[in-house]
Amino acid sequence: MTKHVAVVTGGTRGIGAAICKRLKNELGYTVIANFGGDEQKAKAFSDECGIPVVKFDVGDYDAVQDAMAKIAGEYGPVDVLVNNAGITRDGTIMKMDREMWEDVIRVNLGGCFNMAKAVFPGMKEGGWGRIVNIGSINGQGGQYGQVNYAAAKSGIHGFTKALAQEGARFGITVNALAPGYIDTDMVAAVPEPVLEKIVAKIPVGRLGHADEIARGVAFLCGEEAGFVTGSTMSINGGQHMY
């Protein structure tokens, strides 16, 4: 069995951490977790699960190229990529400045391009690859006060469909997964009255769990998912159906 090498961006916390553990423990992949911020929490994650961590800014094209070259040199060609890293800079358009807009687009959408650009040639040469981009329910249905985040996540869904067409003949599948509201630190930062209103709109009556997202990602990254490409898997408790 081929030993696949996977990189998960934003992989040391929340949904990303759950994805890393699934890919390692369920699929047996060699997994490297990217992070961009808290070194102490990243080290704690690595110590806990034995997954190596690498710090770089996914929104920085040159930093991505350098980091991915080093990862490939140490662990082998990266043939599984999960673009999970994301940030929020919320505010209505009246209050949102240009920097808030550009930060979110640069990291959330630009990061997908930078990472895919770094691994696609190797996947093409190897004749096999899995790219999974983490979108959002808010990229599908919009959200008040998130024109930047919604635009970036919606862009991810279009990016996925276009790249899937480029990769298909080379054995590279490209899919997206759109989580609903999951019990992560990002959602925990939402004010309690607002969160109560959100949960009230979820038909299953609760927030999702990070591991529920990770299960979907593991399927899309597996050997058996070779006929699934250009798709978006929505895991949102029924909050948004289409």
Q: What is the 3-state secondary structure (H, E, C) of 176-198?
A: EEEECCECCHHHHCCCHHHHHHH
Query: Is 29 considered catalytic here?
Result: no
Q: What SS3 state is found at 91?
A: coil
Q: Where are the domains of the chain?
A: 5-235
- Residue 106 pLDDT > 60: yes
Choosing from 61, 149, 181, 242, the catalytic residue is 149
pLDDT higher than threshold 80 for residue 189: no
- 28 φ, ψ (degrees, to nearest 5): 75, 20
- pLDDT, mean of residues 54-79: 97
Higher pLDDT, 185 or 62: 62
Predicted confidence (pLDDT) at residue 85 exceeds the cutoff of 60? yes
| Nearest C-alpha neighbor of 196 from the set 209, 184, 206 | 206
Tell me the CATH number for domain 5-235: 3.40.50.720
The structure's pTM equals: 0.94
State residue 142's pLDDT score: 81
